[in-house]
Amino acid sequence: MTQTIYLDYAATTPVDPRVAETLQQYLTPDGIFGNPASRSHAVGWQAEAAVEQARARVAGLVGADSREIVWTSGATESDNLAIKGAAMANQAHGRHVITSLIEHKAVVDCFLWLQERGFEVTWLEPDEAGCISRAQVEAALREDTILVSLMAVNNELGSINPLQAIGALLRERGVLFHVDAAQAAGKMALDVSAMPVDLMALSAHKAYGPKGVGALYVRRSPDVTIEAQIHGGGHERGLRSGTLATHQVAAMGHAFNLALEEGDAEAGRFESLRSRFLDAFGGLSGVHVHGPERARIPGIINIGFEGVDGESLLLALRGVAVSSGSACASATTEPSYVLRGIGLSPEMAQGSLRFSLGRFSTEEEIDTAAERLTEAVARLRERGAARRATV
């Protein structure tokens, strides 16, 4: 394999080698391979104990009680369970729901699904930095509003929503609040014991755990009622049936525990890598860093380059793995709906790339990436100028 500089940690992270060791302890005959729902023998009990330890660890990272954590296959499923589940269970109180234009597709598509089924959706427009304000949510609330869903951290911009303020408003009005925290867990403090959030989606593979496992936080007090979306053996207190993937669950627990122990130090390191990266562009003109200056996580850096096409830049940056827009939307060549959603022109949105830093990023990689990027932008601009001169 060639040495790619990986700067796409917001799309997915590699599994931390310490977590990979945990994964392997729950598969083979000499490991804890039992079905955690098997109640009649020690093989099952051991698996159940591993699942419960992991549940406590995931709960621990976000200030929840273990009994508030439901295992799922990832944040997509958690978003589906939270949004459809809350809408279905509470529709007798009203059928108006609120979200924003720059949510992850896992949220957007659930709201479109609700819309097709007769729910009324208000799509809030973020400010130019990518944030939704409490005042905006307040203005959109109605008598029949039952649910608001907003992300903690935007996956393309790194912008942070004011969850505390919005949550307090919604608690006061008796409206459920779902938060997609896939990009936030492990990257900033999240404490549901102090934050009025009712439902929260988490994913393992954005935080050095494996793909295919996630969790939904469902508040117990005040009690939140949602309808199950997957039916079967009544696992997870009836909220999500299906035999638990013990290895995945244990690995997510380990990954989240590492985030609890190392997250603060890591954020400090990302902050300095970010500055180092941005400083390296000092000589380039027409460079715009999208997203807020302060209400943001340091690991996501979305940059627009005037007069440069993002796809050409991606190609010119061979050896550096970055993305234009999110991984989920990159099958299309449309400019990112998130960047369009914060008011960027199609050209500017098209000329922007997301660089995301992670645990294994080094100063050397950052320096090399910045150098290649500076060269590529200059080269593409020269070529563009030459082409314009000949027509």
Ligand X SMILES: *Cc1c(COP(=O)(O)O)cnc(C)c1O
105 to each of 8, 74, 174, 176, 195, how far by Cα in Å?
18, 13, 26, 20, 25
> Cβ 385 to ligand X, closest distance in Å?
37
Q: Phi, psi (5° rounding) for residue 381?
A: -70, -40
How far apart are CB 73 and ligand X at their closest, in Å?
7
Least distance between ligand X and beta carbon 255 (Å): 13
* Interface residue with ligand X, options 214, 291, 299, 325 (CB under 6 A): 214
Give the one residue of 58, 61, 106, 369 binding ligand X; rule: CB under 6 A: 106
- Residue whose beta carbon is closest to ligand X: 74
Minimal CA–CA distance to 317: which of 275, 266, 368? Answer: 368
Q: What binding mask, one character per residue, do residues 26-65 give for ligand X by CB under 6 A, x or -?
A: ----------------------------------------
Q: Which of 219, 202, 211 is nearest to 61 (CA)?
A: 202
* Nearer residue to ligand X within complex by CB, 34 or 214: 214
Nearer to ligand X, 297 or 308 (CB): 297
Cβ(350)–Cβ(307) under 8 Å?
no
**Contact map string, positions 164 to 193, toward ligand X, x by CB under 6 A:** ----------------x-xx----------
Amino acid identity, residue 275?
S
Stretch that binds ligand X, among 24-32, 68-76, 108-116, 306-314 (CB under 6 A): 68-76
Among 34, 74, 304, 310, binds ligand X (CB under 6 A): 74
Phi, psi angles (nearest 5°) of residue 59: -60, -40
Q: Which is nearer to ligand X, 84 or 205 (CB)?
A: 205
Q: Cβ of residue 155: shortest distance to ligand X, in angstroms?
A: 4
The C-alpha atoms of residue 133 and residue 112 are separated, in whole angstroms, by 22
Using the rule CB under 6 A, is 151 a contact of ligand X?
Answer: yes
Whichever of 48 and 180 has its CB closer to ligand X, that residue is: 180
Nearest to 118 by CA among 97, 139, 99: 97
Closer to ligand X by Cβ: residue 155 or 246:
155
CA gap 150, 145 in Å, rounded:
15
The amino acid sitting at 178 is: H
Q: Is residue 328 annotated as part of the catalytic site, yes or no?
A: yes
Collapse the DSSP code of 299 into the 3-class scheme (helix H, G, I; strand E, B; otherwise coil) and give the result: coil
Does the protein bind ligand X through residue 157 (CB under 6 A)?
Answer: no
Question: Smallest distance, Å, CB 12 to ligand X?
Answer: 8
We find the least distance from the C-beta atom of residue 379 to ligand X, in angstroms, to be 32
Best CA proximity match to 195, nearest among 226, 237, 146, 161: 161
Number of residues engaging ligand X in binding (CB under 6 A): 14
Least distance (Å) from ligand X to the CB of residue 6? Answer: 16
DSSP element (H, E) containing 386: helix 363-390
Separation between Cα atoms, residue 207 and residue 258, nearest integer Å: 9
Q: Indicate which residue of 27, 135, 315, 328 is catalytic.
A: 328
Is 357 an interacting residue with respect to ligand X (CB under 6 A)?
no
CB neighbours (10 Å) of residue 179?
28
Cβ atoms of residues 11 and 203 within 8 Å:
no
Q: Report d(CA 144, CA 141) in Å as an integer.
A: 8
| CB distance 140 to 124 below 8 Å | yes
Q: Does 100 bind ligand X (CB under 6 A)?
A: no
Q: If binding is defined by CB under 6 A, does position 203 make contact with ligand X?
A: yes
Stretch that binds ligand X, among 86-94, 118-126, 200-208, 373-381 (CB under 6 A): 200-208
Enumerate residues 6+ apart whose C-beta is below 8 A from 40: none
Q: What residues act catalytically?
A: 328
- The residues binding ligand X (CB under 6 A) are 74-76, 104, 106, 151, 155, 180, 182-183, 203, 205-206, 214
